[in-house]
Amino acid sequence: MDGMMDHGNGHGMASPPSPSSMGMQPKHSMMMMHMSFYWGHEAEILFTGWPGSSTGMYVLSLFVVFLLAFLVEWISRTRVVNRVTDNKVVAGVLLTVLHAIRMCLAYFVMLAVMSFNVGVFIVAVVGHALGFLVFTSGAFGSGLDQEEEDRGYKPSVLPPLTC
């Protein structure tokens, strides 16, 4: 094999040196990312090292994901803008800010679910479901008082969430 180095990889080409063979060690150890659903409290959700290996912190993270999903449903059905102003420009700006906040929260829920932890998935779905039940389904009334109904307020001012 003239001019070709064979290092036993079967292709006749040299393998690139590994960082450890060059005397370099990684600064931190990488946690394995799951690519299928798994059970367990040792998860990494949204931020590096969070919630850690503590069961209590895992339960707190589940509550945070539930709350984020619930808030997405609340913001999707809020009538705050109708109550605050009748000025169309101010109302448009407020609706835009609410939409940006809603999308930010929805993406956080999506990223949390991408941890592939079954507990996170369940609380995200339950958060959205309970939010829908409370704010949209009508199971607890329309939520409008008589004055709001007389003035023609709508139960939802934001368009439905679509990703």
Kindly tell me if the per-residue pLDDT of 18 is higher than 70. no
Q: What is the pLDDT of residue 150?
A: 60
104 in a structural domain: yes
* Residue 111: closest CA among 54, 43, 159: 43
88 in a structural domain: yes
**Count of CB atoms situated within 10 Å of the CB of 148:** 16
86 in a structural domain: yes
Q: How would residue 48 be classed by pLDDT, with cut points 50, 70 and 90?
A: confident
82-98 pLDDT, tens digit each:
666 778 888 888 889 99
Q: What is the pLDDT of residue 42?
A: 81
5 in a structural domain: no
53-70 pLDDT, tens digit each:
889 999 999 999 999 999
Domain holding 85, by residue range, is: 63-151
The predicted model gives 129-158 an average pLDDT of 68
Longest dimension (CA), the chain: 91
State how far the Cα of 152 lies from the Cα of 149, in Å rounded to an integer. Answer: 5
Q: What is the pLDDT of residue 27?
A: 53
State how far the Cα of 107 lies from the Cα of 161, in Å rounded to an integer. Answer: 11
Number of domains in the chain: 1
The predicted model gives 130-150 an average pLDDT of 72
78 in a structural domain: yes
139 in a structural domain: yes
Kindly tell me if the per-residue pLDDT of 12 is higher than 60. no
According to DSSP, the β-strands at 43-44 and 51-52 are antiparallel
89 in a structural domain: yes
